[in-house]
Amino acid sequence: MDKKQTNSPVSLKHITIQDPFWSRETELVRTAVLPYQWDALNDRIPGAAKSYCMHNFRAAVRRNEKKRKLGDAFLEPHFTKEGWVFTPEDPQNPDDQFYGFVFQDSDFYKWIEAVAYSLTQHPDPQLQAIADEAIDIVCKAQLENGYLDTLYILSGTDKIFTNLQDHHELYCLGHLIEGAVAYYEATKKTPLLDAACRYADYVSSCFGEEEGKRRGYPGHEIAEMALVRLYQTTGKERYLKLARFFVDERGSRPYYFDKEKNLSSPSDELRYSYYQAHLPVRAQHEAVGHAVRAVYLYSGMAAVAKETNDASLFDACGRLWDNMVGKKLYITGGIGQTHMGEAFSFPYDLPNDTAYAETCASIGLMFFARRMLEIHPDRRYADEMERALYNTVLSGMALDGKSFFYVNPLEVLPEACRLDERKFHVKPVRQKWFGCACCPPNLARLIGSIGSYAYTENETTLFAHLYVGGTVQKQVGGKSFSVCVSSEFPWNGCVRIQFPEDTPEFTLALRIPGWCSTYALAGAGGAKQTLRDGYLYLTKAFRRTDCLTLTLPMEVCIRQCSPLVRENIGKVAVTRGPVVYCLESVDNGEGLWRLSLSPDAAAKVEPICIAGEEFPSIRIPGFRQRVSEDSAELYKPYTIPEKEPVILRFVPYYTWANRGENEMSVWVQSE
Amino acid sequence: MDKKQTNSPVSLKHITIQDPFWSRETELVRTAVLPYQWDALNDRIPGAAKSYCMHNFRAAVRRNEKKRKLGDAFLEPHFTKEGWVFTPEDPQNPDDQFYGFVFQDSDFYKWIEAVAYSLTQHPDPQLQAIADEAIDIVCKAQLENGYLDTLYILSGTDKIFTNLQDHHELYCLGHLIEGAVAYYEATKKTPLLDAACRYADYVSSCFGEEEGKRRGYPGHEIAEMALVRLYQTTGKERYLKLARFFVDERGSRPYYFDKEKNLSSPSDELRYSYYQAHLPVRAQHEAVGHAVRAVYLYSGMAAVAKETNDASLFDACGRLWDNMVGKKLYITGGIGQTHMGEAFSFPYDLPNDTAYAETCASIGLMFFARRMLEIHPDRRYADEMERALYNTVLSGMALDGKSFFYVNPLEVLPEACRLDERKFHVKPVRQKWFGCACCPPNLARLIGSIGSYAYTENETTLFAHLYVGGTVQKQVGGKSFSVCVSSEFPWNGCVRIQFPEDTPEFTLALRIPGWCSTYALAGAGGAKQTLRDGYLYLTKAFRRTDCLTLTLPMEVCIRQCSPLVRENIGKVAVTRGPVVYCLESVDNGEGLWRLSLSPDAAAKVEPICIAGEEFPSIRIPGFRQRVSEDSAELYKPYTIPEKEPVILRFVPYYTWANRGENEMSVWVQSE
């Protein structure tokens, strides 16, 4: 790898999104998701699980004020066997207790990050006022030494950093940084960024290789990639150093979490693999453990590798990528095959109906993919980033932005979700809000920053990974110019690129997706063209009159699964461009498993209306195995199954469950 | 129903088993299983989980002796928050504590029952001496009032019958009765029967409709059918009355277990369905909850229905039977589709790889079937009894009788059992002994009493349900005579029936199994023949020279599953006679899911050697989907799968996992 050859996301300040698909999504985030989530963080959604997120920050502010007032007379609140209780002056006061998950603070940080992205695209003084007020509360919740996690501030500061394995102080640091950097970039306001730096400085004073510092690392990763971002924003080396320390310290023996818990005998690797701490990261070859943790770590590894020009770390990332994408990835871009530990299972174990495939895990996969692309633009990364985005990630949110999936299975029988405890994690309809509400705000921040996944750049080159329509500002040799992209992704593969004014010579790198068997480019006369790693590099000083037309044919494609996957043997899936399709019983009748299709049957794309909007559906002739009265008998001598011809209708996977509770299946029997 | 038309099992005293298949099984129980289990009950198996069963009885004897010695000065041991802690005189004495599951006593009762059956067939003074000595200990453990459960005797007698839901005092009563009656019938010795009667009398004084008695019922059923058996043995009506009370009280509102736990708000039906106590039994239409509990209850219901001539109760049994067998039964006779609660799942939900299908549940299904047959001889019941027996029940034990399966799945990938927590209940090889060791002794008592499932009788008729070879003594009109049956079931359907001497006129009812498409009977000249409900009734005074030959062709049969079952769509299973076959990777290579067969391919029966013994295996031409290098890629555009012709070799399901850890599958893709 060569640091000079790397690239970075185009600043959201330099991207204006104008895209029939993504303008709608970002508007949905702005008008529906962000206000809803603000209400949720403040426990104002009737009937939804309480968040307590802002409650905790406010209680921490009261604690700090009390401490200032009382001085030496102040008694710390404490954690006891009876639970997270209190201030000693008023042990029964529920207003001063911490409630919720140990990572509850991070919900605000994700929200503020999404707000920042939204403000970049769409200035909104009222929203900004709400945000500033909230930031003020958060900043006041911070301790004088820079520590900022309401769990311990409210429950006993003497226990700070004593349970890195299970508590999320460093995870909250990571999200604080992500939110703070985004808000600073959007508004140039510094209070939250200052708070993030102060917390990061405090953490930096506590953790590291130096004598007297703890050699710990986060139980739930994210601080690694966030600290790299803080370094990129502030230029302060200590944040990069801390990130690298967290990455490299992971997996050291004796295990830090064992020491933390004073375990007499060492834990086995299996238990530590949940945290990806079973081995030093450079010795890890298999994507294991909690899927979100895993891809957050890998993202951090790639971020550190890029900034430190660390080839062996990048190699480790590549191995983990190949293992994950080659052996543990659902066709929908979902990862985490089992709900036990929300984790990866073993290679080629890809059950459809008990899949976990958490929305956040696929978002994390996008983080990882983008960071790999920054080091090495190869469509392999972008293809999977796009697969995750248009399928599992978007599936996480209802079309109206008001309910969310945490789990994104590939086959659902609603009856089973209610009656089979093995599938209680699978919900047949999206939920309003979760007690553990990591996915909704994560979705909001991902959608809000979609431009930074679509476009990256280095000095001479603008990379188009996802064809999100809009205008990108690029500077080459001190000259600034615009590149206008219009597309109808993910429904139509025709991309048009224009230049409002003549440009200096630069390189435009256009991704040719793996799902295209052919492509065509028109209007690039005079450009030097190179195809490398799935990117078409065009170098030219473009003219105001130039209009590039890239055609990436989106044909219906019947796909098969590797025969190493037990669950999909004899089955096929329907895709078109980056979009995976599925069957729902609302269109196809009940008993989806009794349907089959011939892979060479002619498919037809036809609009369908879902929740008031039009989407391209796919109609394919197929069959339905009949259930005659006597075929209800369980076991009978074989007779040729009676099948009736039917037209199967597939809808985009991410739009499923927007028409009430019903059966769904991605894979269908092949005739 | 008509009580006079019912039938009862032929006494084991009147059956001598001489059968190539069953003599081997009963010998295995006698020579391997019973001695091994006695060692297990006494914690003498190195490396196996401790049972503590006999320890608990011995500790109870010491407690009783101490009480006798100390009189009023005796202080009861007590259950405290810190656990089962105790004799106040010596609180640290581990020798006086109760260990193990709350139903640990029952392991001895099941063992003594199996011993009794073995002694009936094979007198063994040494074994009988061990048994008598053990019985002496058990009798001395009984309290003066008749109560007998070491859990409470050792942990605080003031708590007796205060937690019927979770503790197993009435379950232990049931097994005590079963063991005691069997031992009495085998040896005519009365101490254990007396102990059982005294405990039953005590329970009868505590439970019932009468003022002042508790209106409770067992959390885990079995006492119901056991009490009927005690009534049949002793003639004492109070036991039948208590059985009927337990059956009919079940499901009454408000729920007894709620009252017991002083719950302020009533529990929902779903929770109570685990115990089959959600509704009065006559209003139950679906087999639900813990599968062993369920079939034990249904057996008790059928037993009470028969003895009390209760048509509506029999109807309820019939509905539950139809639901269970028609919608929730594995082709192997396994029941209990989910390990969550070891329970029934919803109709047609029959996953192969996560099946629970506990050995004990299929034994319980045999109990239920036999009792239904006693009321109404219909091959529907016998077919399923036989299916359970030759598949799931026998699968519970290794061919050498030294290791056991608790769970009997229909598809196993050993890797998944180790790496996928959803399948941790599935073991790829049989285990030596379980902490919860209900299955091994249950198997021993079932095999030891196989004659009573094979043959039942009433005044004029001898029913042959399973063609177990041997001699059956029958008495008609005061005259006793023998019927000799020889067969090679389950491998050969030719049954020969002879009469060592002329018989008075009587009826021989021969079951024509549902798996036969045709049958032939020779040598029945002069007999009045009627075919009713799958039984061929032959009435005649048979001659010494008569030799009946019943031919029940055992052809290889490719079976399909109802299309209402998701998991088996497009698949077939191979059966021959009552035996279900399966694929193992030791014969067929790894990746069994990549195999397929054409249902019309010619099958060939061929001997195979498994663990030193010969079994008929089945060879069928089929195909294996190739895994080429590039087919390891997860998702690719569809191409016709490359398949190579192979010969599939199927072995009897119950013999699987006798050649080390390997893949197994009952269902195979159909071409």
Burial of A321 (0-12, 13-18, 19+ CB in 10 A): buried
Q: Is B354 on the interface with A (CB under 8 A)?
A: yes
Digit-coded pLDDT (tens) for B322-348 = 999 999 999 999 999 998 889 999 999
pLDDT band, residue A176 (cuts 50/70/90)? very high
pLDDT band, residue B436 (cuts 50/70/90)? low
Which of B342, B411, B457, B663 does the annotation list as catalytic? B342
B440 or A112, greater pLDDT = A112
| Phi, psi (deg, nearest 5) at residue B667 | -90, 140
Interface-testing mutation among A354, A630, A635, with chain B (most B C-beta atoms within 10 A): A635
Report the pLDDT value the prediction gives residue A155, as an integer from 0 to 100. 84
Q: Which residue has the tokens 């009627």?
A: B530
Please report residues of A whose CB lies closer than 8 A to that of B554.
Answer: none
Contact A632 B422 (CB under 8 A): no
Residue A81 has pLDDT above 60, yes or no: no
The torsion of the CA quartet B408, B410, B412, B416, rounded to 10 degrees, works out to -80
- The enclosing H or E element of A243 equals helix A237-249
CA atoms within 13 A on the CB side of A215: 14
For chain B, percent of residues with pLDDT exceeding 90? 84
Give the list of residues 6+ apart from residue B377 with CB closer than 8 angstroms, or none. Answer: B7, B456, B463, B465, B509, B533, B535
pLDDT band, residue B92 (cuts 50/70/90)? low
Mean predicted lDDT score pLDDT of chain A:
93
* Both tokens assigned to B571: 């698949």
Residue A82 has pLDDT above 60, yes or no: no
pLDDT band, residue B91 (cuts 50/70/90)? low
Interface-testing mutation among B321, B594, B634, with chain A (most A C-beta atoms within 10 A): B634
Nearest CA distance, B392 vs chain A (angstrom): 16
Q: Is A630 on the interface with B (CB under 8 A)?
A: no
Please report residues of B whose CB lies closer than 8 A to that of A563.
Answer: 591, 594, 625-627, 631, 641
* Both tokens assigned to B150: 């070491």
Q: Report the alpha-carbon distance of residue A34 to residue A42 in Å, rounded.
A: 12
Q: Report the alpha-carbon distance of residue A361 to residue A349 in Å, rounded.
A: 17
Report the pLDDT value the prediction gives residue A629, as an integer from 0 to 100. 78
Report the pLDDT value the prediction gives residue B326, as an integer from 0 to 100. 96
CA atoms within 13 A on the CB side of A313: 22
Q: Is B607 on the interface with A (CB under 8 A)?
A: no
Please state the length of chain A.
671
Give the list of residues 6+ apart from residue B517 with CB closer than 8 angstroms, or none. Answer: B553, B555
Give the list of residues 6+ apart from residue B73 with CB closer than 8 angstroms, or none. Answer: none
Question: Tell me, what's the ipTM?
Answer: 0.92
For chain A, percent of residues with pLDDT exceeding 90? 83
Q: Is B572 on the interface with A (CB under 8 A)?
A: yes
Helix, strand, coil: what percent of chain B each, to 5? 40, 20, 40
Cα A475 from chain centre: 29
Contact A641 B422 (CB under 8 A): no
Nearest CA distance, A390 vs chain B (angstrom): 16
**Segment 541-560 of chain B within 8 Å of chain A by CB:** 557-560
* Both tokens assigned to B95: 């020798």
Burial A105-128 (b: 16+ CB within 10 A, else e): bbbbbbbbbbbbbbbbbeeeeebb
Q: Report the alpha-carbon distance of residue B114 to residue B33 in Å, rounded.
A: 10
Give the list of residues 6+ apart from residue A667 with CB closer than 8 angstroms, or none. Answer: A352, A410, A411, A561, A567, A568, A571, A572, A573
> Among A594, A636, A638, A600, which Cα is nearest to A620's?
A600
From the list A329, A625, A634, which residue is nearest B329 (CB)?
A: A634
Q: Strand ranges (DSSP E) for B78-160?
A: 78-80, 83-85
Q: Report the alpha-carbon distance of residue A618 to residue B385 in Å, rounded.
A: 49
DSSP, collapsed to helix, strand or coil, labels residue A417 as: helix
pLDDT band, residue B402 (cuts 50/70/90)? confident
* Both tokens assigned to A387: 């697969």
Residue B85 has pLDDT above 60, yes or no: no
* Both tokens assigned to A141: 């919740």
Give the list of residues 6+ apart from residue B525 with CB closer than 8 angstroms, or none. Answer: none
Contact A635 B560 (CB under 8 A): yes
* Both tokens assigned to B202: 């005590």
Q: Report the alpha-carbon distance of residue B533 to residue B510 in Å, rounded.
A: 11
Which of B172, B197, B438, B582 does the annotation list as catalytic? B438
**Segment 577-596 of chain B within 8 Å of chain A by CB:** 591, 593-594, 596
Q: Which residue has the tokens 């696929």?
A: A362
| Phi, psi (deg, nearest 5) at residue B238 | -60, -25
B172 is catalytic: no
B438 is catalytic: yes
Q: Is B391 on the interface with A (CB under 8 A)?
A: no
Q: What is the β-pairing status of strands B411-412 and B664-665?
A: antiparallel
CA atoms within 13 A on the CB side of B1: 25
What is the arithmetic mean of pLDDT over A161-166?
94
Report the pLDDT value the prediction gives residue A266, as an integer from 0 to 100. 78
Q: Is A205 on the interface with B (CB under 8 A)?
A: no
Q: Report the alpha-carbon distance of residue B571 to residue B593 in Å, rounded.
A: 10
Digit-coded pLDDT (tens) for B214-223 = 999 999 999 9
Mean predicted lDDT score pLDDT of chain B:
93
Report the pLDDT value the prediction gives residue A47, as an integer from 0 to 100. 79
From the list B326, B340, B562, which residue is nearest A422 (CB)?
A: B340
Asked if residues A520 and A557 have their Cβ atoms less than 8 Å apart, the reply is no
pLDDT band, residue B79 (cuts 50/70/90)? low
Q: Report the alpha-carbon distance of residue A93 to residue B465 in Å, rounded.
A: 72
Asked if residues A98 and A87 have their Cβ atoms less than 8 Å apart, the reply is no
* Both tokens assigned to A277: 């701490």
Residue A593 has pLDDT above 90, yes or no: yes
Digit-coded pLDDT (tens) for A30-80 = 999 999 899 999 999 887 788 899 999 999 999 999 899 988 888 777 655
For chain B, percent of residues with pLDDT exceeding 70? 97
What is the arithmetic mean of pLDDT over B106-131?
96
Report the pLDDT value the prediction gives residue B626, as an integer from 0 to 100. 94
Residue B2 has pLDDT above 80, yes or no: no
Peptide bond into A94 cis (omega under 30): no
Please report residues of B whose CB lies closer than 8 A to that of A346.
Answer: 415-416, 419-420
Digit-coded pLDDT (tens) for B54-76 = 999 999 999 999 899 988 888 77
Q: Is B331 on the interface with A (CB under 8 A)?
A: yes
pLDDT band, residue A423 (cuts 50/70/90)? confident
Q: Is A642 on the interface with B (CB under 8 A)?
A: no
pLDDT band, residue B244 (cuts 50/70/90)? very high
Instruction: For residue A349, list its beta bridge partners.
Output: none
Residue B559 has pLDDT above 60, yes or no: yes
Q: Report the alpha-carbon distance of residue B577 to residue B566 in Å, rounded.
A: 26
> Among A541, A479, A478, which Cα is nearest to A508's?
A541
Q: Report the alpha-carbon distance of residue B76 to residue A310 in Å, rounded.
A: 71
* Lowest-confidence region among A466-470, A528-532, A628-632: A628-632
Q: Report the alpha-carbon distance of residue B6 to residue B457 in Å, rounded.
A: 8
If you count residue pairs, one on A and one on B, with CB atoms under 8 Å apart, how many are there?
A: 151
DSSP, collapsed to helix, strand or coil, labels residue B461 as: strand
Contact A594 B562 (CB under 8 A): no
> Among B649, B546, B660, B571, which Cα is nearest to B605's?
B649
Instruction: For residue B614, list its beta bridge partners.
Output: B609
Digit-coded pLDDT (tens) for B351-367 = 999 999 999 999 999 99
pTM above 0.90, yes or no: yes
Residue B78 has pLDDT above 70, yes or no: no
Please state the length of chain B.
671
> Among B77, B70, B82, which Cα is nearest to B98's?
B77
What is the arithmetic mean of pLDDT over B228-242?
98
Asked if residues B576 and B616 have their Cβ atoms less than 8 Å apart, the reply is yes
Report the pLDDT value the prediction gives residue B434, as an integer from 0 to 100. 58
Ordered by where they begin, the domains of chain A are 53-267 (no CATH), 459-551 (2.60.420), 556-670 (no CATH)
3-state SS track over A421-466: HHHCCCCCCCECCCCCCCHHHHHHHHHHCCHHHHEEECCCEEEECC
Asked if residues B524 and B537 have their Cβ atoms less than 8 Å apart, the reply is no
